[in-house]
């Protein structure tokens, strides 16, 4: 039962909403506007209700003196003085904010965490705060997530516990008048506010808003790459389904398709033929001139590379070139990655470093930037440039011992990298492996298949002199056991058959019994790797599921593309999860795991503190 | 209806009446309890005060017949942030606005109660006025300053019972001579300085027959009723302002077991030969931490007091400090070393408030049983 008290409160809000809609913009008398703000109506909502713009509402509030006040968060209803400057806004009478006369910088945090907007950004914000403290500058943190370190009361000089919206951030800026605002550490959420803040005359520290736009706008980005003679996968934009089919045919399948209006890989898909494309356009999205569809050439089996770099506008230092274990097409947040890149040639690495420096210089990056590359057949492609801190910054900083976020903060405040002692890339003599952590076992009926849409909710790091051990440590930390002997089930799609062969052979040599579905078994046997045939679910009992349930299978390698939740592939993925059987959905992942198994046969895992590596 | 709150130091707060027109003067205090507004409003200890609730929403569970702690509303006015336009609770028999309006108590909402609380915390409990009739700040400030305040004044005579009465499980029973319907084992005289009914309910439920007598009842008259124990209740205002009662209590000392609460505790302190002082802004709420020094245990207590016993004024050979407030180390309880008498500054009767301190009633029963 819903208590009538709640319903009545909702009714009060709805009634006021109707009253405002009826009054229109001219009818927003001071008393009504104030009541609306006390009720929690955002400027944007008021603009929507009265058919005007958020800027108009803001201006009207200014004229009427309708501004929020800030109250201190304390735990005793103001009975005792609170000393931690931890503020929230409300439309009330007394303002408890006490802006100082010191030099001060505001840091915009990441807001609510969600998949793709994780705690890694909070790390960067916290380090920014520490850097400001070292510079003797007052730090003002704006963030609304109580489960973070940036919202700990002792991280910054002041904390405003407020939503990351233009309205709320501008209200704080009006009150605190900071000398500058850092938007590049909190992920995409604050970066999206950069243009609005810039327009309002706020000083954005570091990389300019114009440069951010240049990297984010698809057309401008293309021109930017052309100017630097850098390559990106062939791509185009379609306004109609017919046009999409034509473009895909020209670019050639497989292609990566996604709606233009979403971020973070949502609704993104790799399609292999015209049927898939038509199916995608009919079921997943709505293509129109309002909602164009973006089509990119998908670089199958390319190696994906993540680069984090820091620049002071003149000098650019590469923080790290990381090589993904999973091939291109898996969201970078879901891929395991290795630092330093373990299969790239020196010349490719040099080419990537040179391209990174050129882009940083052209975009006049001041602070951090992240670039995603793909390398296929010794050709380097640029997939994406993010002129902000990336989610790999904490990993890179810990793996190399270089506090990138801290240094970037100081650079944004005018210091040069050379003055900060960072003059060249840091070379490390160990391997660090980042592995994603997935929440699949918390949710029923979620598919564990990885793809362009990010699914991980955390990450771990394994570090060691040996790559195999570093990978093994990362797997253990991520909760993925590493099988030492027994039965391995291999079921791969035709495209992957030749690339899985060396791994299957190695596993056989290591004493594993290979189980394989009909076609995979036939292929392996024909190529000299003994494999026993195992029934698919449709082929009669005992089948894969039976043997999974009997715990007769120690590891499953399955790259089948079946995404239908009724298909065999899905059922196997899901039951592997339910029965805690290690499960690998990529050939490269299987290869890395096999390397870890082999290394573990020869060496023991030794524990060392992070500091001992530097 | 617009309403203004004015303080003697010139601070003005604007709000709206939710109970109709009115004007009232008193000492501005705040209570930090999240619930219990009906018990607070019917607590006689608030006589002469204007109560501000720090909890931002008040009235959401209405009022009922069971949560009455006396038969009247005692604060001069009631200040809140938001009055809940709807109440929803299975026990409710009416709403707070009508409850106040029918007793001519002014209730004002829309106030920045946090600002009032902060101000009170910083400068102390001030004289103030609330009005819907006079909206001229200057005039209001003048009126606030003209109000005499609580120090040295007898507020008890305004709230003590006019005639003795007994207590049954159904409530008050008029008459003298332990005439409650339950024939309890222990006969307790409650010397009424402004008691809360839950004290009587708790004694009644512990096999006591209770006889409530007016504050000015003499020691001889009390002893003539042959009680097993004497209960000194809570009450409003300055303990030093009430004529006669300290002498009465002094005469009862050592004769029968005595248990004092709040004002009763302060009067015991004066009867022991000590003195009291006014706290800056007092303790009012349902989560005050108190340490029992005899056991080392901490209890969370309900409190409502503006005055306090000065322990330094007492002879440590005669009186033992038993409880302290962990927020400010002030005296929260004491015991006489020679006579069977003990007292606490807080409200163990928990209406409203936590049940941590009920053991004190048991302690009183034990004391009577032993005597």
- pLDDT above 80 for A594: yes
Judged by CB atoms within 8 Å, which residues 77-96 of B form the interface with A?
84-88
Judged by CB atoms within 8 Å, which residues 34-73 of A form the interface with B?
71
**Both B237 and B360 in a single domain?**
yes
Residue A562: per-residue pLDDT: 58
Mean pLDDT of B145-166: 95
Q: Which of A6, A38, A74, A79 to mutate to test the interface with B (most CBs of B within 10 A)?
A: A79
B133 in a structural domain: yes
Closest CB to B32: pick one of A5, A12, A77: A77
Q: Which of B146, B169, B200 is the last residue of a domain?
A: B146
- pLDDT above 60 for A565: no
Question: CA A530: distance to chain centroid?
Answer: 41
Q: Identify the helix (H) or strand (E) that includes residue A572.
A: helix A568-578
- pLDDT above 80 for A263: no
Express each pLDDT in A126-156 by its tens digit.
Answer: 999 999 999 999 999 999 998 899 999 899 9
Express each pLDDT in B220-245 by its tens digit.
Answer: 999 999 999 999 999 999 999 998 99
Q: Which residues of A touch B118 (CB under 8 A)?
A: 78, 94, 96
Pairing of strands A235-238, B186-192: unpaired
**Both B194 and B330 in a single domain?**
yes
- pLDDT above 60 for B118: yes
The torsion angle over the Cα atoms of residues A141, A146, A147 and A153, rounded to 10 degrees, is 50
Return d(Cα A404, Cα A396) in angstroms, integer. Answer: 8
Q: Which of B146, B168, B202 is the last residue of a domain?
A: B146
CB-based contact A78 B117, cutoff 8 Å: yes
Residue A598: per-residue pLDDT: 95
Residue A54 distance to chain B (closest CA, Å): 27
**Both B343 and B262 in a single domain?**
yes
Express each pLDDT in B40-63 by its tens digit.
Answer: 999 999 999 999 999 999 999 999
B277 in a structural domain: yes
Strand order in the sheet with A431-437: A379-386, A366-376, A303-312, A316-324, A337-339, A431-437, A458-464
Pairing of strands A458-464, A431-437: antiparallel
**Both B105 and B30 in a single domain?**
yes
Residues above pLDDT 90, as percent of chain A: 71
Q: Which of B84, B118, B285 to mutate to test the interface with A (most CBs of A within 10 A)?
A: B118
**Both B255 and B206 in a single domain?**
yes
Could you tell me the pLDDT band of residue A268, with boundaries at 50, 70 and 90? confident
Q: List C-alpha distances in Å: A385 to A212, A258, A337, A373, A396.
A: 9, 18, 18, 9, 17
Closest CB to A78: pick one of B84, B86, B121: B121
Strand order in the sheet with A513-516: A531-533, A513-516, A487-491, A555-558, A583-584
B64 in a structural domain: yes
Residue A264 distance to chain B (closest CA, Å): 40
Residue B337 distance to chain A (closest CA, Å): 35
CA atoms within 13 A on the CB side of A241: 13
**Both B347 and B208 in a single domain?**
yes
Residue B262: active-site member: yes
- Residue identified by tokens 């409502």 is B304
B335 in a structural domain: yes
Least confident of A530-544, B237-251, B305-319: A530-544
Pairing of strands A293-297, A337-339: unpaired
The total number of structural domains that make up chain B: 2
- Is B288 at the interface with chain A, CB within 8 A? no
Return d(Cα A214, Cα A221) in angstroms, integer. Answer: 6
Three-class DSSP category at B345: coil
Q: Which residues of A touch B85 (CB under 8 A)?
A: 8, 12
Alpha helices (H) in A71-217, listed in sequence order: 119-135, 166-176, 188-191, 194-199, 209-216
Express each pLDDT in A169-215 by its tens digit.
Answer: 999 999 999 999 999 999 989 999 999 999 999 999 999 999 999 99
Establish whether the linkage from the previous residue to A170 is cis, with ω within 30° of 0: no
Q: Are residues B175 and B166 in contact, defined by beta-carbon separation less than 8 angstroms? A: yes
- pLDDT above 90 for A166: yes
Residue A291: per-residue pLDDT: 80
Residue A486: per-residue pLDDT: 95
Q: Are residues A215 and A255 in contact, defined by beta-carbon separation less than 8 angstroms? A: no
Task: Kindly report the CATH number assigned to the domain that includes residue B104.
Answer: 3.50.30.20
Return d(Cα B79, Cα B111) in angstroms, integer. Answer: 7
**Both B254 and B352 in a single domain?**
yes
Least confident of A146-150, A366-370, A446-450, A454-458: A446-450
- pLDDT above 70 for A566: no
Least confident of A76-85, A414-423, B83-92, B280-289: A76-85
Express each pLDDT in A280-310 by its tens digit.
Answer: 888 777 777 778 889 999 998 899 999 999 9
Return d(Cα A130, Cα A154) in angstroms, integer. Answer: 11
Judged by CB atoms within 8 Å, which residues 70-129 of A form the interface with B?
71, 76-81, 92-94, 96
B59 in a structural domain: yes
Could you tell me the pLDDT band of residue A98, with boundaries at 50, 70 and 90? very high
**Both B264 and B345 in a single domain?**
yes
Could you tell me the pLDDT band of residue A264, with boundaries at 50, 70 and 90? low
Judged by CB atoms within 8 Å, which residues 327-356 of B form the interface with A?
327
Q: Which residues of A touch B117 (CB under 8 A)?
A: 77-79
Residue A493: per-residue pLDDT: 85
Q: Are residues A94 and B118 in contact, defined by beta-carbon separation less than 8 angstroms? A: yes
Express each pLDDT in B191-225 by its tens digit.
Answer: 999 999 999 999 999 999 999 999 999 999 999 99
Question: CA A414: distance to chain centroid?
Answer: 28
**Both B185 and B258 in a single domain?**
yes
**Both B242 and B360 in a single domain?**
yes
Could you tell me the pLDDT band of residue B183, with boundaries at 50, 70 and 90? confident
**Both B139 and B162 in a single domain?**
no
Q: Are residues B26 and B76 in contact, defined by beta-carbon separation less than 8 angstroms? A: yes
Please give the residue range of the domain that contains residue B26: 2-146
Closest CB to B60: pick one of A5, A79, A80: A5
Closest CB to A78: pick one of B87, B88, B114: B114
CB-based contact B86 A4, cutoff 8 Å: yes
Mean pLDDT score across all residues of chain B: 95
Q: List C-alpha distances in Å: A261 to A166, A286, B12.
A: 20, 11, 52
Q: List C-alpha distances in Å: B133 to A31, B22, B79, B260.
A: 22, 6, 16, 41
Angle, vertex CA A469, rays to CA A558 and CA A516, nearest 5: 20
- pLDDT above 80 for B177: no
B151 in a structural domain: no
- Is A612 at the interface with chain B, CB within 8 A? no
ipTM attached to this prediction: 0.87
Residue B321: per-residue pLDDT: 98
Q: Which residue of A has its CA nearest to B281?
A: A79
B69 in a structural domain: yes
Task: Kindly report the CATH number assigned to the domain that includes residue B244.
Answer: 3.40.50.880
More confident residue, A585 or B367: B367
Q: Are residues A520 and A490 in contact, defined by beta-carbon separation less than 8 angstroms? A: yes
| Greatest Cα pair distance in chain A | 84
Residues above pLDDT 70, as percent of chain B: 99
Q: Return the closest-CA partner of residue A38 out of A91, A77, A1.
A: A91
- Is A31 at the interface with chain B, CB within 8 A? no
Q: Are residues B85 and A12 in contact, defined by beta-carbon separation less than 8 angstroms? A: yes
- pLDDT above 90 for A560: no
Q: Which residues of A touch B88 (CB under 8 A)?
A: 3-5, 8
- pLDDT above 70 for A265: no
Return d(Cα A115, Cα A508) in angstroms, integer. Answer: 38
Residue A286: per-residue pLDDT: 74
Return d(Cα A407, Cα A185) in angstroms, integer. Answer: 12
For chain A, the C-alpha Rg in angstroms (whole number) is: 27
Q: Which of B146, B175, B200 is the last residue of a domain?
A: B146
**Both B171 and B100 in a single domain?**
no
B61 in a structural domain: yes
Return d(Cα B157, Cα A25) in angstroms, integer. Answer: 59
CB-based contact B115 A92, cutoff 8 Å: yes
Alpha helices (H) in A100-193, listed in sequence order: 119-135, 166-176, 188-191
Could you tell me the pLDDT band of residue A445, with boundaries at 50, 70 and 90? confident
CB-based contact B88 A4, cutoff 8 Å: yes
Mean pLDDT score across all residues of chain A: 92
> What secondary structure, in 3-state letters, does A317-353 show?
EEEEEEEECCCCCCCCCCCCEEECCCCCCHHHHHHHH
Of the residues B262, B283, B308, B323, only one is catalytic, namely B262
Residues above pLDDT 70, as percent of chain A: 98
Residue B86 distance to chain A (closest CA, Å): 6
Residue B180: per-residue pLDDT: 60
Residue B28: per-residue pLDDT: 97
Residue A102 distance to chain B (closest CA, Å): 26
Q: Which residues of B touch A9 (CB under 8 A)?
A: 86
């Amino acid at each position: 039962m819903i208590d009538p008290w709640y319903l009545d409160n909702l009714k009060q809000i709805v009634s006021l909403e109707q009253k405002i809609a009826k009054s229109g913009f001219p009818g927003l008398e001071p008393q009504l506007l104030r009541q609306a703000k006390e009720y929690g109506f955002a400027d944007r909502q008021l603009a929507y209700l009265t058919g005007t713009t958020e800027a108009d509402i803001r201006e009207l509030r200014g004229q009427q003196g309708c501004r929020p006040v800030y109250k201190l968060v304390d735990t005793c209803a103001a009975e005792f003085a609170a000393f931690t400057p931890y503020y929230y806004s409300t439309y009330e009478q007394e303002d408890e904010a006490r802006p100082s006369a010191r030099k001060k910088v505001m840091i915009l945090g990441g807001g609510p965490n969600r998949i793709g907007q994780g705690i890694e950004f909070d790390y960067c914000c916290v380090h920014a705060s520490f850097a400001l403290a070292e510079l003797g500058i007052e730090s003002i943190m704006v963030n609304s997530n109580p489960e973070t370190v940036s919202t700990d009361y002792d991280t910054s000089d002041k904390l405003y516990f407020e939503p990351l919206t233009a309205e709320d951030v501008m209200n704080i800026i009006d009150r605190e008048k900071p000398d500058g605002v850092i938007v590049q550490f909190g992920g995409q959420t604050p970066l999206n506010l950069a243009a609005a803040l810039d327009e309002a005359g706020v000083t954005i520290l570091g990389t300019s808003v114009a440069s951010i736009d240049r990297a984010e706008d698809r057309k401008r980005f293309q021109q930017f790459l052309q100017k630097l003679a850098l390559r990106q996968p062939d791509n185009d934009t379609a306004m109609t389904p017919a046009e999409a089919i034509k473009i895909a045919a020209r670019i050639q399948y497989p292609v990566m398709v996604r709606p233009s209006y979403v971020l973070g890989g949502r609704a993104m898909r790799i399609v292999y033929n015209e049927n898939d494309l038509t199916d995608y356009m009919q079921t997943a999205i709505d293509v129109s001139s309002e909602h164009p569809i973006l089509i990119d050439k998908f670089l199958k089996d390319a190696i994906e590379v993540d680069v984090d770099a820091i620049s002071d506008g003149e000098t650019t230092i590469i923080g790290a070139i990381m090589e993904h274990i999973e091939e291109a097409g898996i969201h970078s947040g879901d891929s395991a990655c290795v630092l330093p890149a373990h299969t790239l040639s020196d010349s490719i690495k040099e080419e990537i470093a040179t391209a990174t420096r050129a882009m940083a210089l052209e975009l006049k990056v001041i602070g951090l930037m992240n670039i995603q590359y793909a390398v296929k057949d010794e050709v380097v492609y640029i997939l994406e440039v993010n002129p902000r801190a990336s989610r790999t910054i904490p990993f890179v900083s810990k793996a190399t011992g270089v506090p990138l976020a801290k240094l970037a903060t100081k650079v944004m405040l005018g210091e040069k990298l050379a003055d900060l002692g960072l003059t060249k890339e840091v070379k490390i003599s160990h391997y660090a492996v980042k592995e994603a952590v997935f929440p699949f076992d918390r949710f029923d009926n979620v598919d564990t298949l990885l793809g362009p849409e990010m699914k991980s909710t955390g990450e771990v790091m394994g570090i060691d002199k040996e790559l195999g051990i570093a990978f093994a440590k990362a797997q253990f930390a991520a909760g993925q056991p590493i099988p030492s002997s027994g039965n391995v089930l291999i079921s791969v799609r035709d495209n992957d058959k030749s690339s899985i062969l060396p791994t299957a052979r190695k596993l056989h040599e290591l004493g594993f019994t290979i189980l394989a579905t009909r076609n995979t078994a036939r292929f392996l046997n024909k190529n000299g790797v003994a494999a026993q045939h195992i029934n698919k679910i449709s082929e009669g009992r005992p089948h894969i599921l039976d043997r999974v349930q009997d715990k007769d299978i120690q590891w499953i390698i399955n790259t089948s593309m079946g995404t239908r939740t009724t298909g065999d592939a899905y059922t196997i993925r899901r039951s592997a999860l339910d029965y805690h059987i290690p499960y690998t959905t990529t050939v490269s992942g299987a290869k890395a795991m096999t390397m870890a198994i082999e290394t573990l046969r020869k060496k023991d895992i030794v524990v060392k503190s992070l500091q001992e590596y530097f | 209806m617009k309403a203004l709150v004015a303080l003697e130091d010139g601070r003005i707060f604007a709000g709206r009446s939710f109970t109709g027109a009115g004007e009232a003067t008193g000492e501005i205090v705040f209570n930090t309890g999240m619930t219990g507004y009906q018990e607070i409003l019917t607590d006689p200890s608030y006589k002469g005060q204007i109560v501000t609730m720090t909890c931002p929403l008040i009235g959401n569970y209405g009022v009922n017949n069971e949560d009455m702690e006396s038969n009247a509303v005692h604060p001069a006015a009631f200040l809140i942030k938001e009055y809940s336009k709807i109440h929803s609770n299975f026990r409710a028999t009416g709403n707070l606005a009508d409850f106040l309006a029918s007793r001519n108590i002014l209730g004002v909402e829309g106030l920045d109660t946090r600002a009032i609380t902060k101000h009170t915390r910083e400068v102390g409990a001030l004289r103030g006025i609330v009005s819907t009739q006079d909206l001229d700040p200057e005039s209001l400030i003048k009126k606030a300053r003209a109000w005499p305040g609580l120090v040295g004044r007898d507020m008890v005579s305004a709230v003590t019972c006019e005639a003795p009465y007994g207590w049954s499980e159904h409530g008050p029973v008029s008459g003298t001579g332990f005439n409650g319907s339950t024939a309890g084992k222990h006969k307790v005289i409650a010397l009424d300085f402004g008691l809360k009914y839950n004290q009587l309910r708790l004694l009644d439920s512990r096999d006591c027959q209770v006889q409530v007598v007016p504050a000015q009842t003499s020691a001889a008259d009390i002893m003539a009723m042959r009680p097993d124990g004497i209960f000194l209740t809570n009450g409003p205002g300055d303990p030093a302002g009430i004529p006669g009662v300290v002498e009465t209590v002094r005469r009862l000392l050592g004769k029968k077991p005595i248990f004092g609460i709040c004002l009763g505790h302060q009067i015991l302190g004066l009867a022991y030969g000590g003195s009291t002082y006014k706290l800056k802004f007092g303790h009012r709420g349902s989560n005050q931490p108190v340490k029992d020094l005899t056991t080392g245990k901490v209890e969370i207590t309900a409190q409502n007091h503006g005055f306090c016993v000065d322990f330094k004024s007492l002879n440590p050979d005669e009186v033992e400090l038993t409880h302290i407030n962990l927020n400010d180390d002030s005296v929260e309880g004491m015991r006489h070393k020679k006579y069977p008498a003990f007292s606490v500054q807080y409200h163990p009767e928990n209406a409203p408030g936590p049940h941590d301190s009920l053991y004190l009633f048991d302690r009183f029963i034990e004391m009577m049983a032993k005597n």
